[in-house]
Structures are given as C-alpha cells and as structure tokens.
Chains A and B, each alone.
Chain A
Amino acid sequence: MGMEKEKNLHRLQCSYASLDESFEISKESYRGQQYSHIYYARLNLMRSLLYSLVSNWKPFSPVCPVLELEEGKECVIIGTLYKHMKLKPRVLDEYSKEKSTIPLVKPHNFIHSDDYLILEDEKGRVKLGGNFISPSVYATGVVVALHGKESGAGDFLVLDVLEAGLPPQIDRPLKSREDKYVVFLSGLSIGRSNSNPLQFQLLIDHITGHLGDEMEQSIASQIVHVIIAGNSVEIPPGLLNGQNLASKDLSRIAEPIKELDIMLNQIAAGLPLDIMPGPNDPSNFALPQQPLHRCLFPGSSAYNTFRSCTNPHCFELDNVRFLGTAGQNVDDLDKYSEAKDKLEFMERTLRWRHLAPTAPNTLGCYPYTDKDPFLIDICPHVYFVGNQNKYETRIIKGSEGQLVRLICVPKFNETGVAVVLNLKDLECHALSFGTQLSS
C-alpha cells in the first residue's frame, strides 16, 4: 500500500470464505424440464419445515391437503401462494378483444384492489377469502401455512397465517475487536452518458488511502473488503439491436468494461474486492447470475484479491455471514406487491425464507429440478441488495434472537453514495462523494 509518510499504516485483514456453491451452475443442463420442478422442490422443503412449526402454532388443528377440505371444519393447510393479478401483463393480452376493459397500469407496479390469493399444493388449489391475509403483501411463490376453514362458497376463510420466520442464525463471534469496515457499492454504470468518472475515482482514492490527511488514511486502512453489487457497466443503448456490429462498434461496446477494469485494478491492488453481476452486466439474465468472466478484466484478475462472484452472493468475513443480490429480487417484489420501503421487502424475503419468491413466475431463473437454491437455510448477519434508489438500513430481530443488518445499497452513479459497514458492531453509514463545486 502506498501509504508511507512519517509512520507506516498497515491495512487490516480479515478471513474470507465464499459460500456461493449453491448458486454456481456447473453440471446442470437443460433437458426440457419445466419450472414445475422448482415449485415442487420449494413446496416440499418448506412444507417439512412448516410442519415442525405447526404443532406449536395450532396444536389442535389437523393439517390437511387442499383436496380434503371440509366445509366448516377448522384445519391447517400448507401450500404455495399464487396471486391472481388483474393488471399483470400477459402475452395473450395483445390478442384480447376486450382491450378497453383492462384498467391502465400504474407506472410502478401491477397491484389492483381486485387481486386475490390462491393456495396450491400438489393436487389442488383453493381461493383464499377473509380479511386476515392481505393480497398486496404477498407474492406468487411464497410458501405459507394457513389456519382457517372452508366457507360455503368454496373459498378458504383464513383465520391465521404462519410464515416460516427468520431462519436460524449462527452466532456472531462476540470477542470485541478493532473496527473493520466493508464497503458496498452498486450501480456504477460506467459507460452511461451521464457517468462521472471523477466521482468513482474519488471513492477509489479514499478507500485505497490516497486521499486526505493521516486521520483519514488510518480510517481507510481499516477498510478490509469492497463489494460491488451489480450494474457496474452500461453498454451504450442502440448498439445491441440484434444486427451484426461494425468493428468500430465492437470496440465501443468493450470500452465501459475496459474502463471498469482500469478502475478495479486500483482497488484490487490494495484490498480484496468482490464483483457481482447485475441485470445490466454482461452475464446471463436468469438468476442465479454467473460470475463475470475473468477475461473481461485482464488487469484486475491478475490479483488474487479480485473475485468475480455469482449473484446472489453469499460469503463470510471473519465469520460474519453476508448474503446479497444485485437487487432484482426486491425490484420484482416491488412490482407485484406493496411495502412502505424496500427494507420491508427484504425483511419479508427473510421471513418467507426465500430470496426470490417471484422467481420463476416473473423473475428469470434457472429451471432447477432437485433443489431451490434461493431458500435461505441460515440467517445471514448482513443482508444487502444493490441498485436501489436510496440508501436505507435497519436492524431486524428474529424470535430466536437473530439479528440481521439490512442494507439497500444505492446506485452510485446517481447518488454518489457508497455504504460502509463496521464488522465489529454491524453499524452502518453512508459515504457520500460529490464533485460539484458549490458556488
């Protein structure tokens, strides 16, 4: 590190363990399998979990399959929710003759007051009634247990809902340590017309310790890890139109990535760096997105501190468990359900124990046959999503004493904000960079 002045500052280090194995696609192949398998696997795994909770929750109600419901008999049913949505775009809509009867879609999401929930298991489905369960909160693909009874009309009158709740958590090492910081970044969007290279360069200079006085440098030396949560580049629009590219356009397409490589090179020379792909990056579309190829980063990938990771990304730093995505899961929930802020969506995905319940319904996802990699078995200590509009953070507590730090990482290109987390106490603050001269 180039931080020698009067006294040498040494960068702190921390241990790293990658837990991305379940998100890596290696031996899987496509043999005509459909998405029914992933719902089947999800329902089976979640059901055995919910079964164990039901005996404490409603000890006197029998658990029965949807097809064995009897009118007026109180019981518990377990299944996958399906939300019937009037406004959800369907491919058949353009052929529909009654176009005018479909209300206009709001720009931000597709929920409507007529939406209703249906619970499905392998054999049957039943429409859910009553005011207890609000369709706007839930999304298609969530597995829950419901207590209630069949009403005369053939609906299931919901009296109580049981979600799986926060997964069990491995205790965070308690021994008090020195401050160690982790920096989260997302939405660099290098290559966009309004991108501001100076802003990113300032950030790099800050974390590599080339900025400020000794005080600031000593803080910089406590940064142990950088995570880039997706959308690092933006390919100029208009180039990718399905036509063959002229050779000069080929080099234009590669420019943002080259620029990114130069920038990341500076970070990787100083400290460990994880880069995750996002929806705009040159990776696959369907979740889990596979690591950006090393050959895209000829400069940075020479360092062993540079790691190209999957999205979602799961890892441990000094035994603090991190889980995060580039934001697709929360953005999709935002389109098909409602919450007061993005953190609430994040909290729900943890309580549902599923990172991306709307996959594969409205979110692209690999057609797994024997597992659902998005189920959350172990509760992370830090849960982050990238590419959000603003920085938000909160700590949530589970019933068994779980403690999770939720972080919405804003788009750096638009806000100039990176997020810094202290590994010692999971305290979090924003790191804001501006390049405008105030007049």
Chain B
Amino acid sequence: MSSVSSNMKGFYRQKKNTITNKSSNKPPIHDAALSPSTTAHADEYNENETMLRQFDMNMAYGPCVGMSRKERLERAQKLGLNPPIEIKKLLENEKVQSQSLWDGSI
C-alpha cells in the first residue's frame, strides 16, 4: 500500500504546481494562513506528517475529506480494518495536524 500512496503523493505535488502556475487569480490550494504544517510549498513537513499523509491517501480506510484524522482512524477500527498503531500513537501523543491533507482546499 505504501507504494501506492507515495505515487499518489507525487501526483499531488505535480498537480499543485500546475494549479499555482496557471491560475493566478485563485489562491494556492494551501494558504499559508491555514496552518503551519500545511504551508503552500509543502516540502517542509516532517516525518510524522509524511506518515499521516500516507494514511490519508490509503484508500483502504476510505475517503478522508470532511472528517478529522482521528475520526477516520476510529471508523477504520470500528470496521475492523486494523489501521496502523503508529498512526494512533501519533494522533494521540504528538502535536500534529488533526485534519487530512485536503482540509480547507475543497
């Protein structure tokens, strides 16, 4: 699954570049004001965020728009899908972005 998600992430970045280049009248997808961890040029996020984004993009746990990462994790647990325990730890203990990577961009 990790290969799929990393492909998707590459896709995501390319797409974002084209949008920011072409449409000058629209604001970039991730506004800097939104939150520090999803800045407009999202190269700065750390390892935790990388893992969480891979979790966001893992289609086995369903769509991620419109619910927080924690809710999505809980849903996956409820459906018996055994989501990775690391994600749970991250969301509970670390100071991480609580919304999925698409939050605020749709």
Contact = CB atoms under 8 A, between A and B. Distances in A.
A369 to B, nearest CB: 5
B50 to A, nearest CB: 22
Interface in A36-79: 36-37, 40-41, 44-45, 48
Given A37-B66, A41-B79, A369 B71 contact: yes
A31 B66 contact: yes
A147 B5 CA distance: 30
B75 A41 contact: yes
Given A44-B79, A45-B79, A36 B63 contact: yes
Nearest to B78: A370
B80 A369 contact: no
A369 B79 contact: no
Contact of B67 (A37, A45, A48, A123): A37
Contacts of B63: 34, 36-37, 40
A33 interface: yes
A369 B106 contact: no
Contacts of B106: 32
Nearest to B61: A40
B11 to A, nearest CB: 15
A122 interface: yes
Interface string B35-75: 00000000000000000000000011011011100010011
Interface of A is mostly: loop
Contacts of A44: 62, 79, 81
A123 B59 CA distance: 8
Interface residues of A, number: 16
A41 B63 CA distance: 10
Contacts of A31: 66-67
Nearest to A122: B59
A20 B81 CA distance: 28
B59 A369 contact: no
Interface of B is mostly: loop
Contacts of A36: 62-63, 65
Nearest to B4: A123
Interface string A352-374: 00000000000000010110000
Given A45-B79, A122-B60, A370-B78, A34 B71 contact: no
Interface in A95-129: 122-123
Nearest to B103: A32
Contact of B71 (A45, A367, A370): A370
A122 B63 CA distance: 9
B62 A122 contact: yes
> Which of A45, A48, A370: most chain B CB closer than 10 A?
A370
Interface in B58-102: 59-60, 62-63, 65-67, 71, 74-75, 78-81
A123 B65 CA distance: 17
Contacts of B65: 32-34, 36
Contacts of B78: 370
B75 A32 contact: no
A366 to B, nearest CB: 13
Nearest to A367: B66
Nearest to B59: A122
Contacts of A369: 66-67, 71, 75
Given A32-B106, A122-B60, A370 B74 contact: yes
Contacts of B80: 48
A144 B62 CA distance: 19
Contacts of B62: 36-37, 40-41, 44, 122
> Which of B59, B65, B66, B75: most chain A CB closer than 10 A?
B66
A367 B65 CA distance: 12
The 10 closest A-B pairs by CB, nearest first: A33-B66, A40-B62, A36-B63, A370-B75, A32-B66, A44-B79, A122-B59, A369-B67, A31-B66, A37-B63
Interface of B: 59-60, 62-63, 65-67, 71, 74-75, 78-81, 106
Interface of A: 31-34, 36-37, 40-41, 44-45, 48, 122-123, 367, 369-370
Given A33-B67, A40-B63, A369-B75, 11 more contacts: A33-B66, A36-B65, A37-B66, A37-B67, A40-B62, A44-B79, A44-B81, A48-B79, A369-B66, A370-B67, A370-B75
13 contacts: A32-B65, A32-B106, A33-B66, A33-B67, A34-B65, A40-B63, A41-B75, A44-B81, A45-B79, A369-B71, A369-B75, A370-B67, A370-B78
